[in-house]
């Protein structure tokens, strides 16, 4: 855990207060910012997952599951995370949602007890890692809660497995395309670290420390490729995909309309391809980086990550309404430009 104990408690208290007040978006922002800046912590993962699950929307439910699974990859026995995951699955089962069908492996009895203890601790605000005072019969309050109040939820959790990976190792839990995940991770690290060469160096250090993590290996190869001289336009497409992407297609549409309006020779329209040509170039760079990562030689045993400030790689979010609106705008621009160019007889 990278975050200080007091800092995490403070952030969790603030996010919990926001969540209880129904300010789910603000709670998510607080937990996500703490994860980015301070590193992984089970309580932050649990709060972020609960803040998504509170939206009662399938997209947010899927996001909550991905976040909780990612947290359990790093903290597989944490009772608060197990409790949050169990509550999510119970809510999904109650709503009869087939998208989160239970995997085949059952939770161990230890995990069942840990989940029940985490639910009891979450309900009282106690620290689940602390044993708490013993009662007359020698059992702690948490033990009693696990055996009574949390028993029903633990029984539901018995039919649940949690096949998770690390930050992005083999067998990722989302159906996100490789290219989208690749661009998402590179954009995050470039935003946090800033300089492309420094970002590539830190990513390579992380890849050497975690040689079995495919996601980190792809990220290291991607940032190294993007940091090469002359690839600033490709980095811009990664850093600001909406602005740069719309700009490329605006160039295409504007140039074709100018050729049509000014009755220029048809070959002059080829200059319109200068903007969209960046997309296949970027695709080629990303494809080559993925294949270099896949074909990498076996590395030495993993050591501690050399850069503590390297951001945690969260699950890739689904396409946002803004991205969908930008795609619709691009299609409209291209259609108008092609129609205008064709009507002039060029």
What's residue 191's pLDDT? 84
What's residue 143's pLDDT? 44
Alpha-carbon distance of 234 to 285, in angstroms, equals 9
Q: What is the per-residue pLDDT across 61-117, written as a single tens digit (0 to 9) for each?
A: 888 888 888 888 888 778 888 888 888 877 776 664 444 444 433 345 555 555 555
Eight-state DSSP code of residue 211:
T
Alpha-carbon distance of 136 to 140, in angstroms, equals 9
Count the neighbouring beta carbons within 10 Å of the beta carbon of residue 49.
29
Half-sphere exposure of 182 (CA within 13 A, CB side): 26
CA distances from 115 to 40, 153, 162 (A): 19, 8, 12
Ranges of the chain with pLDDT below 70: 1-7, 93-176, 298-310, 345-346
What's residue 281's pLDDT? 94
What's residue 161's pLDDT? 35
| Residues whose CB falls within 8 Å of the CB of residue 51, separated by 6 or more in sequence, listed in order | 15, 19, 24, 25, 27, 28, 31
What's residue 300's pLDDT? 57
Q: What is the per-residue pLDDT across 139-165, written as a single tens digit (0 to 9) for each?
A: 444 444 444 344 334 333 333 333 333
Count the neighbouring beta carbons within 10 Å of the beta carbon of residue 228.
14
């Amino acid at each position: 855990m990278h975050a200080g104990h007091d800092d995490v408690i403070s952030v969790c208290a603030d996010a919990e207060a926001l969540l209880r007040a129904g300010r789910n978006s603000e709670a998510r922002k607080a937990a996500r910012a703490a994860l980015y800046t301070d590193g992984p912590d089970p309580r932050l993962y649990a709060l972020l997952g609960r803040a998504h699950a509170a939206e009662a929307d399938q997209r947010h439910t899927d996001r909550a599951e991905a976040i909780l699974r990612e947290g359990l990859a790093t903290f597989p026995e944490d009772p608060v995370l197990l409790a949050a995951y169990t509550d999510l699955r119970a809510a999904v089962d109650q709503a009869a949602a087939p998208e989160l069908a239970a995997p085949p492996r059952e939770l161990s009895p230890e995990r069942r007890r840990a989940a029940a203890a985490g639910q009891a601790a979450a309900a009282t605000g106690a620290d689940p890692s602390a044993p708490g005072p013993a009662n007359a019969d020698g059992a702690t309050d948490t033990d009693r809660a696990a055996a009574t109040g949390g028993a029903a939820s633990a029984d539901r959790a018995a039919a649940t497995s949690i096949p998770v990976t690390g930050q992005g190792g083999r067998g990722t839990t989302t159906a996100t395309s490789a290219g989208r995940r690749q661009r998402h991770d590179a954009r995050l690290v470039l935003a946090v670290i800033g300089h492309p060469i420094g970002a590539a160096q830190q990513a390579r250090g992380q890849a050497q420390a975690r040689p079995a993590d495919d996601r980190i290996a792809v990220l290291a190869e991607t940032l190294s490729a993007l940091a090469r001289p002359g690839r600033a336009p490709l980095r811009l497409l990664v850093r600001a995909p909406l602005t740069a992407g719309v700009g490329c297609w605006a160039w295409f549409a504007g140039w074709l309309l100018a050729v049509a309006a000014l009755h220029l020779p048809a070959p002059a329209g080829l200059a319109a391809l200068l903007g969209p040509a960046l997309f296949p170039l970027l695709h080629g760079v990303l494809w080559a980086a993925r294949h270099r990562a896949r074909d990498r030689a076996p590395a030495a045993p993993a050591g501690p990550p050399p850069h503590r400030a390297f951001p945690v790689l969260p699950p890739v979010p689904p396409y946002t309404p803004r991205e969908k609106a930008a795609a619709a705008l691009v299609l409209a621009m291209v259609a108008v430009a092609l129609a205008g160019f064709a009507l002039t007889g060029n």
